[in-house]
Amino acid sequence: MNVLGYSAPSATGALEPFAFERRAARPDDVVIDILYCGVCHTDLHMARNHFGFTAYPIVPGHEAIGRVRQVGEKVSRFKAGDMVGVGCMVDSCQHCRPCLKGWEQDCAEGATFTYASTDRHDGSPTYGGYSDMVVVTEKFVLALPDGLDPAGAAPLLCAGITIWSPLHRWNVREGSKVAVIGLGGLGHMALKLAKALGADVTLFTRSTGKDEDAFRLGADHVVLSSDPAQMATVAARFDVIIDTVPYDHDVNAYMPTLALEGVLVLIGYMGPLGTPVNAGGVVRGRRAISGSFIGGIAETQQMLDFCGQHGIVSDVEIIPIQQINEAYERMLKSDVKYRFVIDMASLKS
């Protein structure tokens, strides 16, 4: 099937129109016409080869919302016309320990990611959601709850689940004290979701001028992380800190703000930390540093259903796909409120 999308041709080349083929539907496949796709900072990392393993051309995009065009004969949960989502993964082995636990993202055989991955069946490269259509095995298709704005719901497919999974794991509930580092795409979903779970929520930001938005999005307190005096006011306070910062940074400054047995969860940066972690920061106070990678398919549906019940969507700036390169530049300057979402109708203009 012929597809139109946008791809990066190299680590330094601008994203540009790209025509390619997707497989014909297998019996368990769902064919989806993509309406919207969110722009995650990971798309930028991958397009620009920040991790060092990108193969080109790459079609990014793993926050897709669309309408089912057709389904294979074995598909039972979806039918033509349904509104659905596709997140970071499109397949996994389904029998390893992580898959059986519902953590397909950590599949022992390697999950098949929505882009920059290899199809388990035919070895072809996967191309992501910056495109007008995708073919996905039924197990990895998410149902969009009624009443959620489709453009605002797109970022739930990665930003939403990446926040939901650690909040759930660390038992965030009524009265929990949660802090979020960085107010971007993931960070703003963290404020919304932690607040909806009943937590008392603090934003750590390095930017002045985000306070008003932070309070509107769910923060109860805002702390300028570059100001030691403000940092001192939150000593020994947090049960959970969600760290969304995408680049190397010093985590030591945040450790004293964890309460007894508090945990700092790294979800943004994945490389070596340039400033060594002071062991004393975890030894004292029985504190922990943990990490979290997206979330499983079942918990993604659970998160979407929670958002449906609470009317939670992302705050988005909708762009035509022709503005994707400018959007990346603005993301690098933290100039996004709070997620770019591509209107895929623009592909045909």
Give the three-state DSSP class for 349.
Answer: coil
Backbone angles phi, psi at 197, to 5 degrees: -80, -5
Among 59, 86, 134, 158, contact with Zn ion (rule: CB under 5 A)? 158
Among Zn ion, ligand NAP, none, partner that 268 touches (CB below 5 to 8 angstroms by kind):
ligand NAP
Strand partners of residue 261: none
CB of 271 to Zn ion, least distance (A): 16
Among ligand NAP, Zn ion, none, partner that 249 touches (CB below 5 to 8 angstroms by kind):
ligand NAP
Which string of DSSP letters, residue by residue, matches 140-189?
GPEEPPTT--HHHHGGGGTHHHHHHHHHHHTT--TT-EEEEE--SHHHHH
- Which CB sits closer to ligand NAP, 78 or 269? 269
Name which of residues 134 to 163 contact ligand NAP (CB under 6 A).
158, 162
Task: Draw the binding track, 25-64, toward Zn ion (x: CB under 5 A; -: no contact).
Answer: ---------------x-x----------------------
Answer yes or no whether residue 314 interacts with ligand NAP by CB under 6 A.
no
Q: What is the enclosing helix (H) or strand (E) of 281?
A: helix 280-283
Name which of residues 17 to 76 contact ligand NAP (CB under 6 A).
40-42, 45
* Distance between CA atoms of residues 20 and 210, nearest Å: 41
Angle at 293 between CA 290 and CA 297, to 5 degrees: 130
Among 187, 218, 281, 296, contact with ligand NAP (rule: CB under 6 A)? 187
- Which CB sits closer to ligand NAP, 70 or 301? 301
CB of 163 to ligand NAP, least distance (A): 9
Backbone angles phi, psi at 304, to 5 degrees: -60, -40
- Which CB sits closer to Zn ion, 40 or 154? 40
Answer yes or no whether residue 268 interacts with ligand NAP by CB under 6 A.
yes
Answer yes or no whether residue 330 interacts with ligand NAP by CB under 6 A.
no
Answer yes or no whether residue 177 interacts with ligand NAP by CB under 6 A.
no
- Contact status, residue 144 vs residue 150, Cβ threshold 8 Å: yes
Q: Are strands 142-143 and 258-266 parallel, antiparallel or unpaired?
A: unpaired
Residues 6+ apart with CB under 8 A from 255: 264, 278, 281, 282, 287
> What is the contact surface with ligand NAP in residues (CB under 6 A)?
40-42, 45, 158, 162, 182-187, 205-207, 210, 244-247, 249, 267-269, 292-294, 331, 334, 336
